Amino acid sequence: MEPFEALFPNLDKVSRSSFRKGSLSRRRTTIAAIVLGLVLIVVIGLILFSDTIFGPL
């Protein structure tokens, strides 16, 4: 078992058709990428503005 298989067990089932425009897999992939991006923005924002939000420690 490869290390990435723990995170992506169905990676071997991904094909070119998964990313065809309008496919369900592409929509899921796009939504997942957007959610991941938003989470990263929130985390970075919390790190950068933690003093303003929570006050000095």
pLDDT in tens, 24-56: 677 788 888 899 999 999 999 998 988 888 887
As separate numbers, helices (DSSP H) first and strands (DSSP E) second, the chain gives: 3, 0
How many degrees, rounded to 5, is the angle at CA 13 between CA 10 and CA 16? 130
Q: What pLDDT, on the 0 to 100 scale, is given for residue 55?
A: 80
Q: Is residue 3 part of a domain?
A: no
SS3 53: helix
Q: Is residue 43 part of a domain?
A: yes
Q: Is residue 12 part of a domain?
A: no
Q: Is residue 8 part of a domain?
A: no
46 versus 9: the higher-pLDDT residue is 46
Domain of residue 23 covers 19-57
CB neighbourhood size of 25 (10 A): 14
Q: Is residue 6 part of a domain?
A: no
* Measured distance CA(28)–CA(44) in Å, rounded: 24
Record the tokens describing residue 3, joined without a space. 């290390």
Indicate whether this model's pTM tops 0.85: no
Q: Is residue 39 part of a domain?
A: yes
Q: How many domains does the chain have?
A: 1
